[in-house]
Structure 1
Amino acid sequence: MRRNGFSPVEELARARDDQGVVQVTTPFGQTGYLVCRFEDVRQVLGDPARFSNARARTKSPLTSGLSEEEAARMRAGGLLGYDPPEHSRLRRMLTPEFTVRRMRRLQPRIVEIVDAALDDLERAGRPADLVSNFALPVPSLVICELLGVPYADRDEFQERSARLLDISLPMEQRMAAQRENREYMATLVARARAEPGEDILGMLIREHGDDLSTDELVGIAALLLIAGHETTSNMLGLGTLALLQNPDQLAMVRDDPQRVGPAVEELLRWLSIVHSVAPRSTTTEVEIAGHSIPADSLVMLSIPVANRDGAFIDDPDELDITRGAGGHLAFGHGVHHCLGAPLARMEMQVAFPALLRRFPGLALANPGEQADFRVFNAVYGLRSLHVTW
């Protein structure tokens, strides 16, 4: 899913406005249908009976060439590859750990983590890389504490995550990263089974240990670890750049606490860092935007162009934090709506204003320099962002 800076490329916007659905070939050589309009994407996400995650996962290039036994083990616990009722069973066990109420109890600890990261950023001196000194450490430490992952291992799991999500790498390297990630999580699951702590893994083992296989626990933990730091860290980096380029809106986020929540929602909509949620496979012939799509077809969803659909919101290409942009699809929709959305919102609502208040003179260190976007990655963001203050 190509981008032009913050925006989807014009070709995708035209596809949304003209056809609504276009036939495409994926980087892995698969033929599928790309759905681009807001209401159509929402319809697909809300209809797991006709648009199956489980069917699509059996065609995943990440498990091609594996024996059926190994493929099943690699897929175990991956909520994005299940349909109800299997998906419902796993999600029901996890939901209590990600409620808004639970996230509010976590807020004081998130504030401590953010403040410590800001201290480290200041100690790094000017100019400093905001990504490596702030945007990555904050969500990494939060998800490490939630999962019981040693924070000392963060460089290793961040490097594995980067390989797994880098769609420019050969499939063999991405599969190797997936195997390494699961092997690492298997050691943590074994440790948690022996001595369950107060983290999510410990809770799952104490309360659902007889209902979850080791492979399922490994898959759940691996997914939460990657999703918990990759998405929020890229929102923090990319969102800061967007605000720096819109100083009036940056000032509102810095100075008015009432603006912070709506600002986070608008940044989520406008940036839409997840290019496409997990692909679906049709279980029957369907019609979308007047296009007939055969049964057993791969269906992909363009979240960035859907969130910039003029039928969903006025002036969709403008960043306007005053409107809040409720109802966007940045966290998905339906049964697969992002489980960690309350946590991601909490982290951003704490981190953005804290950063801007600590460094009221925050600015790009090299204003004329081209931003270092992560172009070939499943999660859009910045490799680095050098700032001064």
Structure 2
Amino acid sequence: MADLLDDRFFANPHAYYRHWREEGPVRRVHFGDGVERWLILGYEEARAALADPRLCKDIDGLEAAIDRKYDGKWVRPRTHDGLRHMLNADPPTHTRLRKAVSQAFTARRVAALRPVIESTAHELLDAMAEHDEVDLLQAFAVPLPVTVICHLLDVDIEDRATFREWTKALVGTLDPDTDRFKAHAEMVSFLRKMLQRKRIDPGEDMLSALVTDADARLDEGELIGTALLLLVAGHETTVNLIGNGTLALLRNRPWLDRLCADPTLIPAAVEEFLRYDGPVNMATFRFTTEPITVGNTVIPAGEIVLVALAAANRDPRHFPTPHTLNPSANHTAHLAFGHGLHYCVGAPLARLESQIAFTALLQRFPNIELAVPDSHLHWYPNAVIHGLKTLPVHLRN
């Protein structure tokens, strides 16, 4: 019998993972639809799976595997618009797409964004200082990375609020309902028009570079898919890294006070936030092209597989005190950004944004506190993204 992943699971996945790991590093699960997936829980097993070429991500093969599981009744978008990107591809297509995107995330280009990140963070904190209570997500954790990724991609400022609403619809639910499909279609239409403008009048931004890069050979579907991936993944990870990390500190006050007293600890703290309660719960879907063995379990060919990054990052076989927040520990070997070919290309930007965000936030509001009981916090029911819906805080200026 497969375990059900429902709202209770998403509210506290670590409690489930802790129990399941006692029975082995792999488990069968479903999302209430009766269709089973395999969930890999152990650190070593997850790391190996993320780099295993027998676990594929090609969108056509994945859809065929899902269709077989759903007996042809799977509800999904009518086209692949917005789905053809490097997270849904294997080599050599993945290699070509990743190379085109990687040019925007070199160390030099990321470092050049520091002034934009710092000025945006301080502007947001200035606005927050006018209130005693705010939703930290809407006031700070969301607009900071949204502004940065839109700057990188040259998205007009008046479009950013709409873009965020689309993203919330895409990541805020497990159910492939009409609202999600509508948001997806509207976002694809928006990006198609934007790319057309870049062809006519290219600038210095990332989308212009993709459109004009003859070596990358991105077709229309790949351009739209890559643009959508950059816009959504380019900020969603950081939003929830800031949100989850702040909550971890509010639940562990001595560490919040230590970081306020010594901001040089913040880069290490960001790594620990990534390990302890990272922004990505599970890596995106894979499927087996042949039988693979995980622990003592054989997963047959044609099966859907999820790698639970959050579970791997609390595996006691790899981390001595996995359920304790400890920014002074050397936890840089976490899998929060994945591993192997699909390691997050935007990881350097997410790290820089988060380091700047926590430094500025804690310097400005060292007495920040939760404004609601912990039990009143709610999490998005999403298999991939692990993030809060709101984070009400008292700033205690």
Instruction: Write out aligned runs for 1:196-211 (5 A).
Output: 196-208=202-214, 211=217
What is aligned with 2:96?
89
Match 1:115 to one of 101, 112, 122: 122
Letter in 2 for 1:317: H
Quote the Cα distance in structure 2 between the aligned partners of 1:221 and 1:181: 10
Quote the Cα distance in structure 1 between the aligned partners of 2:323 and 2:262: 24
User: Any idea what SS the aligned residue of 1:34 has?
Assistant: strand
8 Å Cα contact 2:237/2:279 also seen in 1: yes
Letter in 1 for 2:54: R
Question: Kindly tell me: are residues 324 and 151 of structure 1, through their superposed partners in 2, closer, same or farther at Cα, counting changes over 3 Å?
Answer: farther
Match 1:370 to one of 343, 360, 375: 375
What is aligned with 1:151?
157
Quote the Cα distance in structure 1 between the aligned partners of 2:64 and 2:209: 30
Letter in 1 for 2:332: G
Paired-residue identity, %: 36
Letter in 2 for 1:243: L
Match 1:286 to one of 283, 292, 313: 292
Q: Tell me the CA shift for residue 111 of structure 1.
A: 0.7
CA deviation vs aligned residue, 1:157-178 (integer Å, no higher than 9, x gap): 1111111113344433322222
8 Å Cα contact 1:144/1:225 also seen in 2: yes
User: Any idea what SS the aligned residue of 1:112 has?
Assistant: helix
Q: Tell me the CA shift for residue 85 of structure 1.
A: 0.8
**TM-score using structure 2 length:** 0.90
Question: Kindly tell me: are residues 170 and 87 of structure 1, through their superposed partners in 2, closer, same or farther at Cα, counting changes over 3 Å?
Answer: closer
8 Å Cα contact 1:372/1:382 also seen in 2: yes
Quote the Cα distance in structure 1 between the aligned partners of 2:83 and 2:10: 34
Q: Tell me the CA shift for residue 224 of structure 1.
A: 0.9
Q: Tell me the CA shift for residue 349 of structure 1.
A: 0.5
Quote the Cα distance in structure 1 between the aligned partners of 2:9 and 2:298: 30
Letter in 1 for 2:126: D
Q: Tell me the CA shift for residue 346 of structure 1.
A: 0.3
Q: Tell me the CA shift for residue 140 of structure 1.
A: 0.5
CA deviation vs aligned residue, 1:252-292 (integer Å, no higher than 9, x gap): 32232331111000000111221211111111111110111
8 Å Cα contact 1:263/1:324 also seen in 2: no
Q: Tell me the CA shift for residue 234 of structure 1.
A: 1.6
Instruction: Write out aligned runs for 1:108-257 (5 A).
Output: 108-123=115-130, 125-208=131-214, 211-257=217-263
Quote the Cα distance in structure 2 between the aligned partners of 1:224 and 1:334: 19
What is aligned with 1:71?
79
1:52 aligns with 2:56: yes
8 Å Cα contact 2:46/2:307 also seen in 1: yes
Q: Tell me the CA shift for residue 79 of structure 1.
A: 1.4
Q: Tell me the CA shift for residue 371 of structure 1.
A: 4.0
8 Å Cα contact 1:6/1:271 also seen in 2: no
User: Any idea what SS the aligned residue of 1:382 has?
Assistant: coil
What is aligned with 1:23?
28
Q: Which moved more, 1:337-346 or 1:213-222?
A: 213-222
Quote the Cα distance in structure 2 between the aligned partners of 1:296 and 1:60: 9
Quote the Cα distance in structure 1 between the aligned partners of 2:327 and 2:390: 24
1:8 aligns with 2:13: yes
Quote the Cα distance in structure 2 between the aligned partners of 1:90 and 1:221: 11
| Alignment RMSD (CA, Å) | 2.3
Q: Tell me the CA shift for residue 117 of structure 1.
A: 1.0
Letter in 1 for 2:55: F
8 Å Cα contact 1:371/1:382 also seen in 2: no
Match 1:337 to one of 331, 339, 343: 343
Unaligned runs of 5+ in 1: none
Quote the Cα distance in structure 2 between the aligned partners of 1:345 and 1:323: 17
Quote the Cα distance in structure 1 between the aligned partners of 2:272 and 2:123: 27
What is aligned with 2:111?
104
Unaligned runs of 5+ in 2: none
Question: Kindly tell me: are residues 73 and 128 of structure 1, through their superposed partners in 2, closer, same or farther at Cα, counting changes over 3 Å?
Answer: closer
User: Any idea what SS the aligned residue of 1:310 has?
Assistant: coil
CA deviation vs aligned residue, 1:326-379 (integer Å, no higher than 9, x gap): 11111011000011100000000000011010112222234x353422241342
Q: Tell me the CA shift for residue 120 of structure 1.
A: 1.5
What is aligned with 2:311?
305
Question: Kindly tell me: are residues 265 and 309 of structure 1, through their superposed partners in 2, closer, same or farther at Cα, counting changes over 3 Å?
Answer: same
Q: Which moved more, 1:24-33 or 1:196-205?
A: 24-33
Quote the Cα distance in structure 2 between the aligned partners of 1:96 and 1:244: 37
What is aligned with 1:356?
362
What is aligned with 2:41?
36
